[in-house]
């Protein structure tokens, strides 16, 4: 008589991780769509686990990610509360369903471009530095959304090229269509706000260039990470 197959710990762990992603996606989309308003308390871990048919461990994993991204905050004895919601203007510019993917694209870019920028500070040649300076200048004072996004993306691609690792370049170029959607949103939001967000974006680019030009790999990586984290945060209301 054949015994039933026992799932391996690795397979079980993979299923748990996938379940956590599904719970995360659902809650994220509810927040993005206004189903959970800023300041509102989320259902309890028990209620969420029952609703999704998963363990409370899976629910906790999803909530940890939401906390790490600044979307919710846990209060001892009170539960988890929504602390940030996507800017209302986003809903005028893109389908709500796309916001989660844009958020995850920025998550990927932070790791990818921070590494590339670190290497660029070590490997950038004089010619590449001159090219990077030209790309930087091209991003200044552009009110046109399409032209601004193209100039912005050209600067980021120039940074990855200066890393002298074609895989960084290939990865960024392959994401071009997705990057443009997110960058257009950030730029439109920046233009709709009273503070000079476009000037801040340029200053962040300038800091990246200065660190590369100084041959400071740690500073360059930190400047790129700060810039992309700031861009991601521009999706959310600060107040």
Whether residue 3 has pLDDT greater than 50: no
pLDDT in tens, 64-88: 988 887 889 988 888 999 988 765 5
Q: How large is the average pLDDT for residues 181-193?
A: 78
Radius of gyration of the chain (CA): 21
Contact 29, 96 (CB under 8 A): yes
**Residue 186: C-alpha distances to residues 60, 129, 174, 197 (Å):** 30, 26, 20, 10
| Structure confidence at residue 6 (pLDDT) | 44
| Structure confidence at residue 173 (pLDDT) | 86
| Structure confidence at residue 161 (pLDDT) | 95
Structure-block tokens of residue 46? 């028990």
User: In 49-147, where do the E strands start and end?
Assistant: 72-75, 79-82
Q: What pairs with residue 201 in β-bridges?
A: none
Cα 87 from Cα 235, distance rounded (Å): 6
Global pTM reads: 0.62
DSSP 71: S
pLDDT in tens, 209-221: 999 999 999 999 9
Where residue 16 falls among pLDDT bands split at 50, 70, 90? confident
Cα 43 from Cα 37, distance rounded (Å): 13
- Region at 82 (left for phi over 0; alpha for psi -120 to 50; beta for the rest): beta
Contacts of 28 (CB under 8 A, 6+ apart): 66, 71, 99, 100, 103
Q: Nearest to residue 78, comparing CAs of 35, 28, 44?
A: 44
Contacts of 127 (CB under 8 A, 6+ apart): none
3-state secondary structure 97-123: HHHHHHHHHHHHHHHHHHHHHHHHHHH
Cα 104 from Cα 112, distance rounded (Å): 12
């Amino acid at each position: 008589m054949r015994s039933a197959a026992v799932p391996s710990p690795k397979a079980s762990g993979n299923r748990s991780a996938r379940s956590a992603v599904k719970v995360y996606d659902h809650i994220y989309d509810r927040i993005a769509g206004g189903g959970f308003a800023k300041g509102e308390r989320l259902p309890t871990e028990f209620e969420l686990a029952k609703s999704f048919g998963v363990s409370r461990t899976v629910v906790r994993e999803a909530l940890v990610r939401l906390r790490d991204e600044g979307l919710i905050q846990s209060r001892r004895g009170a539960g988890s509360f929504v602390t940030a919601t996507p800017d209302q203007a986003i809903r005028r510019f893109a389908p709500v369903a796309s916001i989660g993917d844009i958020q995850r694209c920025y998550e990927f870019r932070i790791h990818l471009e921070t590494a590339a920028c670190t290497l660029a500070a070590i490997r950038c040649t004089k010619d590449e530095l001159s090219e990077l300076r030209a790309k930087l200048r091209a991003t200044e004072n552009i009110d046109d959304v399409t032209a601004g996004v193209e100039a912005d993306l050209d600067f980021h691609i120039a940074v990855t090229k200066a890393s002298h690792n074609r895989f960084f370049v290939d990865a960024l170029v392959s994401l071009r269509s997705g990057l443009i959607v997110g960058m257009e949103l950030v730029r439109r939001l920046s233009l709709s706000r009273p503070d000079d967000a476009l000037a801040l974006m340029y200053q962040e680019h300038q800091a990246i260039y200065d660190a590369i030009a100084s041959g400071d790999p740690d500073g360059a990586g930190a400047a790129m990470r700060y810039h992309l984290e700031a861009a991601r945060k521009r999706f959310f209301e600060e107040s």
